[in-house]
Amino acid sequence: MKYDVIIGLEVHVQLKTKSKMFCRCSASVWKAQPNSHTCPVCLGLPGALPVANEEAVREALKIGLALNCQLLNRAKFDRKHYFYPDLSKGYQISQYDLPFCVNGWLEVDGSRIGVTRSHLEEDTGKLVHDDKNSLIDFNRSGIPLMEVVSEPDIRSPQEARLYAQKIQQIVRYLGVSDADMERGSLRVDANVSLQKPGKWKVEDGKVLGVVNNELNPKVEIKNMNSFRSIERALTYEIERQLQLFEKEEKLSQETRGWVEAKGITVKQRSKEFAPDYRYFPEPDLPPFVFKNSYFEVIKKEIPELPDQKINRFYHDYALEIKEAEIVTATKELADWFEGAVKAYAQTEKEGTTYDHIDSWKVKLIYNWVSGELLRRINELQVPLGEVKVTPAQLAELLYLIDKGEISSTIAKEVFAEMFKTGLDAKKIVEEKGLKQVSDEIQLREAVREVINLNPKPVADIAVGKKEAKGFLIGQIMKMTSGRANPGLVNKILEEELG
Ligand code: ZN
Ligand code: MN
């Protein structure tokens, strides 16, 4: 390509605090009656005074730490002025020159994406359009919103999607946001431009600055409602800009909206100049002065994050990185997996505490979790939290295979039943009579009967046709409803055939 693709993202994350950012209204407004969660503060009535929500501030700092940001000891809120009907005060309380978090980074698929800043602000109301009218719902107004601004370090639409997904994963691990794009609790705007190589000063893949002023304009894309549409919209926009350059047409700096149904971006407004928001310090809220000891306390509340977990699973459990990524997709799944590993390690020496588990056993758990468990979860669209099987129950099922009580084929059948009913493996095996037949006398009887009934294959084996043996084993398994111990069947068959 003749151009470098330069992408920067702004990710807005709604925090799931109990109350809103600056008032006592409940912040759980999903599907609530419009304008039922409002008060003079979040309606922006004259004279109403905001009070900062401490929980939101703590969560904002947590996000900053998780994004490897520097937390500023002195921070403040500022007023950002602009006129739009969903912003009744005529300004949004946001942060300008002293945000809570600056200079972070996030590793995405091996490359480091810089995080310029991460600041806390209040969400706006929401315009709802019907045939005749535009209505305003202020339930969303004043919900705490974390804005994470990336450096223009992203080089492809796919990388942009991965970066946004990683932020979603991290805030969910932190438990500070649902970060659901469909519900709007995670919203992404993208800036994209194509630049001739050399116009940017790049070191180790990071943009350090602009070499001269002859830069191509950037375009901002809004209205992307899924991770897939982030990737599609950027791919479309890069191609559109490329074609304009090829035709030597002029590209203007503007804001464009992604139209999902048509798969195109359309011009919303030109942005020839940076708007003047007339930022100034919010006079109704005193500035923050944080002690380092306060940051230390918050640091301790941060759980193990996805990258650390992947690393630990790689080292402690000898999982491949790809495998570790799959089982750490959510914190809940990682806990489930690890619960099963620990329970399985204890089945051998019951009552002992977990200290070591063989890697083949971890692999077996991994196969069951990524296969049987996740397949059902995806097929039936049940959240993991509602799954009836517990990690300990899976461990018990695998232990039954180890003890030779059931075969792995039967185990899958048992697991399907466990998933449906939540019953223990042992109980299902007993009730359904699925116990593996390891009784030599009983199996020998079955082997003899199959030999008597199949003279042709037996004769074939005698002249060296080995595949006939497989047929006989199949018949024996059929006769025992798949419950015969395969090793034993093989041994007895050898003996009986002489
Ligand atoms: Zn309110
Ligand atoms: Mn913002």
Report the chain (498 residues): mean pLDDT per 10 consecutive residues: 91 98 97 97 96 98 98 98 94 98 96 97 95 95 98 97 98 98 96 83 64 78 96 98 92 92 91 79 98 98 97 95 97 97 82 72 96 95 95 95 87 95 94 85 91 91 86 89 85 88
203 alpha carbon to ligand 2 midpoint, in Å?
29
Residue with tokens 């708007």: 275
The total of other beta-carbon atoms located within 10 Å of residue 272's CB is 9
Q: What is the pLDDT of residue 201?
A: 64
Closest ligand, as measured to the CA of 48 = 1
The closest ligand to the CA of 14 turns out to be 2
Cα–ligand 1 centroid distance for 224 (angstroms): 28
What's the distance, Cα to Cα, between the start and end of the chain in Å? 71
Residues contacting 156, CB < 8 A, separation 6+: 5, 7
Please give the Cα distance from 407 to 483 (Å, whole number): 7
Closest-approaching ligand to the CA atom of 94:
2
Q: Which of 268, 242, 264, 263 is nearest to 253 (CA)?
A: 268
At residue 432, the pLDDT reads 86
Query: Which ligand number lies closest to the CA of residue 149?
Result: 2
Measured in Å, residue 18 CA sits from the centre of ligand 2 at 21
Distance 57 CA to ligand 1 centre (A): 17
Alpha helices, DSSP H, located in 20-148: 40-43, 54-66
The residues, ordered by sequence, that sit 6+ positions from 260 with a Cβ below 8 Å of its Cβ are 223, 225, 229
101-to-68, 160, 204, 280, 335 alpha-carbon distances in Å: 9, 21, 24, 19, 29
Contact 244, 253 (CB under 8 A): no
pLDDT at 484: 87
Separation of CA 255 from chain center: 28
- What are the residue ranges of helices labelled H in 175-291? 227-246
- Ligand 2: centre distance to CA 50 (Å): 18
Other CB atoms within 10 A of residue 296 CB: 9
Residue 283 DSSP code: T
Residue 126 host element (H or E)? strand 126-129
CB contact set of 371 (below 8 Å; sequence gap of 6+): none
Q: Which ligand is nearest to the CA of 117?
A: 2
For residue 186, the CA-to-ligand 1 centroid distance in Å is 21
In the chain, list all ranges with CATH 1.10.10.410.
440-496
Query: Ion ligand 1 — residues with CB under 5 Å?
Result: 23, 25, 39, 41-42
Q: Which two tokens stand for residue 153?
A: 């370090």
pTM (2 d.p.):
0.88
CB–CB of 124/25 below 8 Å? no
For residue 479, the model assigns a pLDDT of 87
Q: Which CATH class is domain 440-496?
A: mainly alpha
Spacing, Cα 140 to ligand 1 middle (Å)? 10
115 C-alpha to center of ligand 2: Å?
15
